[in-house]
Amino acid sequence: MEFNEELLTDERFERLNTNRQSELIAEYCADIEDRIHSASSRLEALRLAESSCTRFEQTCLSTLVRKALERHIEGLILQYWGNSNS
């Protein structure tokens, strides 16, 4: 049986370094940055972000990992599209 890091408990995820946490997120949502960047509008980017990693979020047991993914995607939206108040 292969060990799946996406099934980490919160405690185990906390012990991973930040780079490895980012690698796990990138592994499951590898194209999210490209999709957000190439969206035709901020609204489309938000919709893509919401739908892109649904499977990962549904199967991931770690609240920390899901929250880290949310922060990562929010950062990408901000990076490419700015905030909604701009």
Note down pLDDT in tens along the chain; length 86 residues.
Answer: 344 554 556 666 666 666 666 676 667 677 888 999 999 999 999 998 888 777 677 767 778 778 878 888 899 999 999 987 65
Q: Give me the amino acid identity at 50.
A: E
> Residue 26 domain-assigned?
yes
> Residue 86 domain-assigned?
no
Structural domain boundaries, residue 37: 5-81
How far is Cα 1 from Cα 18, in angstroms, rounded to an integer?
A: 26
Q: Residue 26: CA atoms inside 13 Å, Cβ hemisphere, count?
A: 9
What is the count of structural domains for the chain? 1
> Residue 33 domain-assigned?
yes
pTM score: 0.66
